Amino acid sequence: MTVEKKITTATDVAASSNVVTAINDRINRVETAVLGTSGFALVGTASTLTAAQFYDGAIILLTGTPSGNHVLTVPASQRVVTFVNTTDKEVTVSISGQAASAPVIPPKSADASLSGLEGQQATIRSNGVNVRWLGSPIFAMSAAEYAALSLPSAGATYLTV
């Protein structure tokens, strides 16, 4: 007996006129979700990732010029993903209606001694109800940048230079 969990966005191989294309499509989606990198531009103070965008890469680069601290709403599904905040604003990652405290990724440091960092990086785990840190992220920034944070996240470590 074989038990399979179906990929909900996958194309049925039997229904396809080209079986090889359908199989390659499935393999490409799995590779992208596990190994890929994608980007998402933040605008304003709130954005929502679609399911396709949420599964578009294991690493999602948050880019753009948000007008203030930003709330990024992700789909209510199970997923582990790494976000890299390259903006100059804090980004809160949550599921709509989340009861638990949502993780807040600080802005990229403007400190010259940290110029080699692409941005603040954090891995989150979504269980479909709440978004939480996966492990304990470490953020590097100047003391002034740390003092300017709206509220440091519990469970995160902040190193100041």
What is the mean predicted confidence (pLDDT) over 112-134? 92
Q: Which stretch of 2-16, 83-97, 101-115, 143-157 has the lowest confidence by average pLDDT? A: 2-16
Rounded CA separation 33/49 (Å): 14
**By C-alpha distance, which of 139, 141, 144, 140 is closest to 155?**
139
Q: What is the reported pLDDT for 56?
A: 86
In percent, how much of the chain has pLDDT > 90? 64
Q: Which stretch of 23-27, 40-44, 78-82 has the lowest confidence by average pLDDT? A: 23-27
Q: Are 72 and 49 in contact (CB under 8 A)?
A: yes
Tell the burial category of 90 from Cβ atoms under 10 Å away from its Cβ (0-12, 13-18, 19+): buried
Q: What is the residue whose two structure tokens read 């190994």?
A: 35
